[in-house]
Amino acid sequence: MAPQHATATRAPREKPSARRSSRRSRRLERYAPYLFITPLLVIFVGFYLYPALVTVLSSFFRWGLLRPWSPAEPERWNFVGLDNYGQTLTDASFWNATLNTAIWLVVFPLLVAGLSLLVSILIWYLARGGAVFRTMFILPMTISLAATGVIWSLIYNPDPQVGLLNAVLDKLGILGADWNVGPLEVHTGAWLSDPGVLHLGFADLRLTNLALVIPAFWAFTGFGVITLTAGLTSVSYELVEAAKVDGANTWQVARYVLIPALRAPLVVVGVVSVIFALRTFDIVFVMTGGGPAEDTMVLALLLWQQAFAFLDTPQAGLATAIAVLLSVVMIVAAYRYLRQLLTEKPG
Partner 1 sequence: MSQRQRRLVTGIILAASVALIATACGGDDGGEAPPPGEASGEIRVVSNWTGSEGEAFQAVIDAFEDANPEVTVKIEQVPFDQTQSLLTQQFAAGSPPDVSVALPGIIRNFAEQDLLLDLSQEWDDWVQDGEYTDVLRQIASADGTAYAVYFKGNVNALVWYSPKQLDQLGIEVPATWDEFTAAMDKAKAEGVAPLAVGGKDGWPLTQWTDPIILRVAGAEAFNQLARGEIGWDDPRIVESFEVFAGLVEEYFPKQTLATGFIDATCARAKDRALFQNQGAFINLIVPAECDEALKPGEDFTFFLMPKFDDAMPDAQFVSGDLFIGARDTENEGATRALLTYLASAEAQEVWAKRGGYVAPNAKVSPEVYPDANDRKAAELWPKSADVPAGYDLDDWMGGEIQVKYKQALAQFVRDTDVEKFIATMTRVDTRAGG
Residues that bind partner 1 (CB under 8 A): 42, 45-46, 50, 54, 65-68, 70-73, 157-159, 162, 176, 189-194, 289-294, 304-305, 308-313, 315
> Residues 157, 143: contact at Cβ < 8 Å?
no
- In angstroms, the CA 101 to CA 32 distance is 44
Nearest to 296 by CA among 200, 231, 211, 233: 211
Q: How far apart are CA 191 and CA 207, in angstroms?
A: 8
Q: In the complex, what is the shortest distance from the CB of residue 69 to partner 1, in angstroms, rounded to a whole number?
A: 9
Choice between 97 and 266, CB closer to partner 1: 97
Closest CB 275 distance from partner 1, rounded Å: 24
Nearer to partner 1, 190 or 329 (CB): 190
Q: Which is nearer to partner 1, 38 or 340 (CB)?
A: 38
**Strands 184-187 and 178-181, bridge-based pairing:** antiparallel
| Least Cβ distance, residue 215 to partner 1 (angstroms) | 16
Give the three-state DSSP class for 31.
Answer: helix
User: Which residue, 256 or 308, has its beta carbon nearer to partner 1?
Assistant: 308
DSSP 218-281: HHHHHHHHHHHHHHHTTS-HHHHHHHHHTT--HHHHIIIIIHHHTHHHHHHHHHHHHHHHHT--
Name the 3-class secondary structure at 297. coil
253 or 286: whose CB is closer to partner 1?
286
DSSP state of 69: -
Contact 115, 221 (CB under 8 A): yes
Q: Quick one: 31 or 237, whose CB is closer to partner 1?
A: 31
Q: Strand order in 184-187's β-sheet?
A: 178-181, 184-187, 196-199, 204-206
Helix (H, G, I), strand (E, B) or coil at 205: strand
120 versus 188: smaller Cβ distance to partner 1: 188
Query: Would you give the DSSP letter of residue 306?
Result: I
Q: Tell me the closest approach of the beta carbon of residue 202 to partner 1, in angstroms.
A: 19
Neighbours of 21 (CB within 10 A): 12
C-beta closer to partner 1: residue 84 or 273: 84
CB of 308 to partner 1, least distance (A): 4
Q: Least separation, in Å, of the C-beta of 204 and partner 1?
A: 12
What's the closest the beta carbon of residue 45 comes to partner 1, in angstroms?
A: 6
CB 29 within 8 A of CB 280: no
Tell the smallest beta-carbon distance from residue 332 to partner 1 (Å): 28
